[in-house]
Homo-oligomer: A and B are copies of this chain.
Amino acid sequence: MVLPRAAKTQRRTRIQEEKEEQILEAALEVFSANGFRGSTIDQIAEVAGMSKPNLLYYFRTKEAMHRALIDRVLDTWLDPLREFNAEGNPVAEIRSYIRRKLEMARDFPRESRLFANEVLQGAPHIEDELKGPLKELVDEKAEVIRAWAKAGKIAKCDPYHLIFAIWSTTQHYADFDVQVRAVLGQENAGDGRFEDAARFLERLFVDGLQVREQPSSDYTEEI
């Protein structure tokens, strides 16, 4: 037999699992840093420590590698949002969501950049995932937030744009890391910026979501 990479229906060898693991790890490294088109199979092969034809023995094409990687990473990437709990304390839930997203930006920046690259270039490979599973999950959680607002537990606000704001502010620290470092300067070599960001963002969103009597727009017109 000569096509074990098609061995999807059959039991996987130990060596198959190990090598596929190695390859996907290397693919994450390379794809997240260069985007799909910017990455070459040779690069991935070198990082994985194997020859190019060997990669292609496990994944028929570059696209297949990319897709397998996305499939594998997307689930865990959305976990924080799934944990969003309708029964919990609203402010605490939002706060903990922010914290978890920031931790992921710190601990899994490559995963963040993988998606950022993809979405930024028009999401040619994950359009279905965006319009399907992602949209459904967000719709569900947006409904939760809307209910909280309606019940007066948090300030009224557009739940979708709230989610976008949390996504963007937290992922910024992974996706635009070089810029953040450049602006903050050398002294922020450690992880301090993540703690500062956590303090700032938790405060921003929590204060911004407190229920208050007078609408904020009153402040607009002074001067």
Taking beta carbons and an 8 Å cutoff, which residues of A are in contact with B?
A: 33-38, 88-89, 91-92, 95, 113, 116-117, 119-123, 127, 130-131, 134-135, 138, 155, 157-158, 160-162, 164-165, 167-169, 171-173, 175-176, 178-180, 182-185, 196-197, 199-201, 203-208, 210, 212, 216-217, 219-220, 222-223
A200 touches B34 (CB 8 A): no
Indicate whether A185 sits within 8 Å of B135 (C-beta atoms), given known contacts A120-B175, A207-B216.
yes
User: What separation, in Å, do the CA atoms of A180 and B165 have in the docked complex?
Assistant: 11
**Residue on B with the closest CB to A218?**
B206
Residues on B with C-beta less than 8 A from A167 are 172
Residues on B with C-beta less than 8 A from A212 are 207
Partner of A179, one of B130, B161, B196, B208: B130
B196 touches A92 (CB 8 A): no
B204 touches A165 (CB 8 A): yes
Shortest distance from the beta carbon of A168 to any chain B beta carbon, whole Å:
4
Copies in the complex: 2
Residues on B with C-beta less than 8 A from A164 are 169, 172-173, 180, 183, 197
A35 touches B33 (CB 8 A): no
User: What separation, in Å, do the CA atoms of A123 and B180 have in the docked complex?
Assistant: 11
Shortest distance from the beta carbon of A125 to any chain B beta carbon, whole Å:
12
Partner of A157, one of B157, B183, B200, B210: B200
Indicate whether A176 sits within 8 Å of B120 (C-beta atoms), given known contacts A35-B35, A165-B204, A183-B130.
yes
Known: A34-B121, A207-B212. 12 other contacts (CB 8 A): A35-B35, A35-B37, A35-B38, A35-B120, A35-B121, A116-B176, A134-B183, A135-B183, A135-B185, A158-B199, A169-B169, A207-B210
